[in-house]
Amino acid sequence: MSLIYVERPSDSPYIETITTGQMVGNGSTIRPAEVHWHLVIVNYRGHTQPIITGPLTTSGVVTFTAGAEILWIKFKLGTFMPHLPMRKTLDAETHLPTATNQSFWLQGSAWQFPDYDNVETFIARLVRDEVLVCDPVVTAALNDQPPAIPARTR
Res 137: pLDDT: 72
- Are 7 and 19 in contact, with CB atoms under 8 Å apart? yes
Distances in Å between the Cα of 148 and the Cα atoms of 47, 144, 151, 153 are 49, 12, 9, 10
pLDDT of 105 reads 96
Read off the pLDDT of each residue in 36-65 and give the average, rounded to a whole number.
Answer: 93
In order, the DSSP letters of 119-140 are HHHHHHHHHHTTSSEE-HHHHH
pLDDT digits (tens, 9 = 90+) for 3-45: 899 999 999 999 999 999 999 989 888 889 999 999 999 999 9
Q: Are 126 and 113 in contact (CB under 8 A)?
A: no
Distance between terminal CA atoms of the chain?
52
Dump pLDDT digits (tens) for 103-153: 999 999 999 999 999 999 999 999 999 999 998 777 667 777 776 677 676
Q: Give 83's contacts (C-beta < 8 A, 6+ positions apart).
A: 107, 131
pLDDT at 140: 67
Whole-prediction pTM:
0.88
